Amino acid sequence: MGKEDNPYTGRTKDFLGEELRRRRQAKGLSQRELGNKMFISGGYLGQIEVGTRRLTADIAQRLDEELNTDGFFERLANAMKKSNHTAYFEETAELETLATAICDYACVFVPGLFQTEDYIRALVRSTYPTAPPEKLDNAVKSRVERQSLLKNPERPDMWVILHETVLRTVVGGPAVMGEQLRRIAEIVRAHRSVVQVVPFSAGAHGCMGGLVSLMSFDDAPDVVYTEAALSGQLLDDPALVATHRKAYDHARAVALSPEASLKLIESVAEEFEQCAEKQT
């Protein structure tokens, strides 16, 4: 087989999109018509065709069923799997690189884009107490690679809301927490993100319950990613995205101002640093 006949040369996403488009059109189906058969939006299908959305195993299986392609798309989806992220987070990690704006809310742990290496190690170790060192190394590597997004001073536009619990929950000990909170303060002072803190005194609000990440794009609909312990879900239903957006706005309304939030973050960091000094 010559190189020009090999479907896995060049940009695999381009090949995938062209194959999907060609086989869909051969069946006489529009994106909307095929999407309706698969219970997804035509827009979502179009994003797969142009390579802005990843082909998941579930979608690949349904494409094979509807287009009668004898497992072609499922095999291609498996060939494209290279991510170090957990399966439920793979597509979200990819979408982060395409987003023009990301709005995060975290109620227990620091969001991954802001985590220090020691914080990541302690967090993964607490979740997987018997994990081998290479698992911790892979977790650190994948999250540090994600943080390259912050090197661009303008994109994505970042807005992060942290519940005060995030500042007070000790992950890895006082020294690790002091360094972690200083990292957040550095990001804020570098004007790379706006960060607000919802204090304990604010009481209940709409975003309570887990991590929420709202992402916006230049030429695609907004999506929202929600995460709980050991599970996550990416949602693109417009009504659900709008509901999460409203809840996020309510959380922002009860949060401290960015200036007061930074002052609190640095104050708690100092408390942890003083505690760490006493332990040495």
Give the per-residue pLDDT at 240.
93
Give the per-residue pLDDT at 3.
35
What CA–CA distance (Å, rounded) separates 255 from 145?
A: 30
What CA–CA distance (Å, rounded) separates 247 from 208?
A: 9
Q: Specify whether the CB–CB gap between 69 and 79 falls below 8 A.
A: no
What CA–CA distance (Å, rounded) separates 62 from 56?
A: 10
- pLDDT (tens, 9 = 90+) of the chain, 280 residues, equals 333 333 333 355 677 888 899 999 999 999 999 999 998 988 888 888 887 777 888 899 999 999 999 888 888 777 665 555 666 677 788 788 889 999 999 999 999 999 999 999 999 999 889 988 888 888 888 888 889 999 988 889 999 999 999 999 999 999 999 999 999 999 999 999 999 999 999 999 888 878 999 999 987 889 999 988 778 888 889 999 999 999 999 999 999 999 999 999 999 999 999 999 998 7
DSSP annotation of 257? P
Local structure of 236: helix, strand or coil: coil
CA distances from 5 to 20, 64, 79, 235 (A): 17, 21, 16, 37
Q: What is the dihedral of CA 18, 22, 23, 29, to 10 degrees?
A: 120
What CA–CA distance (Å, rounded) separates 220 from 179?
A: 37
What CA–CA distance (Å, rounded) separates 271 from 221?
A: 42
pTM more than 0.75: no
Cβ-Cβ contacts under 8 Å for 91 (sequence gap 6 or more)? 53, 54, 56, 234
Give the per-residue pLDDT at 9.
33
